[in-house]
Amino acid sequence: MAYLDNIAVFVRVVELGNLSAAGRDMRISPAVASNRVKELEKYLGVRLFNRTTRQLMPTEQGRVFYEGAKKVLEAVSEAEASVAALSGQPRGIIRMTAPLGLGRRMIASGIPEFRDRYPDIEVRLRLSDHEVDMMKEGIDVAFKLGLLEDSSLRMRGIMDCERVLAASPEYLARRGTPERPEQLVEDGHDCLMLRFPGLREYFWTLQTPEGPRKFEVRGPFDTDDGDVITGWALSGRGIINKPRFEIEPFLRDWRLKVVLPETPPVPIKLAAVYPHKKYQDPKVRLLVDFMAERCQRLIGEALTGR
């Protein structure tokens, strides 16, 4: 197993670009990661990386070995999944990711219960509103609120989620309540945007009598954290575009008010996304089934106030 462990470390170093990141990902120190790469280089009799002060770049031999090493690890993973399916005892590590808001409210709190049911499965959760490169970062499953654009991935839809525009009564008293979608732009309303590098959507798409229309709204500031946007709206700083289940408690106690209810944003899809081969893994299926049922139940409870 030591040789296979060395290969696994080497692959993560190539994918993440440095020893520290690979070590953190695999729960080992940079020194241990470095030693495993050196052992592999000694065994193969070649240098696998060109080392700089900031990054490790694979040599030509390293790039060739990486392609073959990935296939070896995938084959081992598939073999382990097949054995687990036959034995009925899924085990191993699942790397998963979710948006901050959804992850904090519904995903993270369910992991202890999932582990109680399946103690041989280790779950590593990363919460981020940024788009995550699943293949590069070795993610097994991502829970997303949005559209699937990467054709190399598969998607299991969980549910469609209503979105609303909302603002605080204080903001609307100060700036006026828009009665037509065009007024968001014409009246220069402060629209609070979720933005980060690589995000393509710098507009809001609303459902109008003529069909979906895009409005290039503007605002004085933006962030890459959806919960921060909600906080700004609660403090009277502008209008937000959010899944209704995330802000329903604030709508219920009148801290926020729905804006333009006749022309709401298009719904957003909650889905589990995974590389094609990963859903053959019983532990990934178990996790997706568990979290899908949990999200459906908790979102229903949030919307009904139970």
The pLDDT, as a whole number, for residue 15 is 82
Distance between CA atoms of residues 148 and 162, nearest Å: 18
Task: Please state, rounded to an integer, the average pLDDT across all residues of the chain.
Answer: 86
**Weakest mean pLDDT among 62-76, 142-156, 157-171:** 142-156
Residue ranges and CATH numbers for the domains of the chain are: 1-88 (1.10.10.10), 91-160+267-306 (3.40.190.10), 163-266 (3.40.190.290)
Closest residue by Cα to residue 197 from 130, 127, 101: 130
153: pLDDT confidence band, cut at 50, 70 and 90? confident
Closest residue by Cα to residue 223 from 255, 244, 246, 197: 197
> How confident is the model over 225-256, as pLDDT tens digits?
888 999 999 999 999 999 999 999 999 999 99
pLDDT exceeds cutoff 70 at 201: no
**Weakest mean pLDDT among 31-45, 205-219, 246-260, 273-287:** 273-287
Enclosing H/E stretch for 31: helix 30-44
> How confident is the model over 266-305, as pLDDT tens digits?
998 999 988 876 666 888 889 999 999 999 999 999 888 7
The pLDDT, as a whole number, for residue 84 is 64
Closest residue by Cα to residue 44 from 70, 7, 18: 7
Which residues have a Cβ under 8 Å from the Cβ of 137 and sit 6 or more positions away?
A: 15, 16, 25, 95
The pLDDT, as a whole number, for residue 155 is 85
- Highest-confidence segment of 22-36, 61-75, 167-181: 167-181
Q: Are strands 141-145 and 268-275 parallel, antiparallel or unpaired?
A: antiparallel
The pLDDT, as a whole number, for residue 69 is 84
pLDDT exceeds cutoff 90 at 82: no
Burial of 137 (0-12, 13-18, 19+ CB in 10 A): middle
Counting residues of the chain whose pLDDT is more than 90, the rounded percentage is 41
Counting residues of the chain whose pLDDT is more than 70, the rounded percentage is 91
Distance between CA atoms of residues 221 and 11, nearest Å: 40
Distance between CA atoms of residues 118 and 17, nearest Å: 33
Amino acid (1-letter code) at residue 57: M
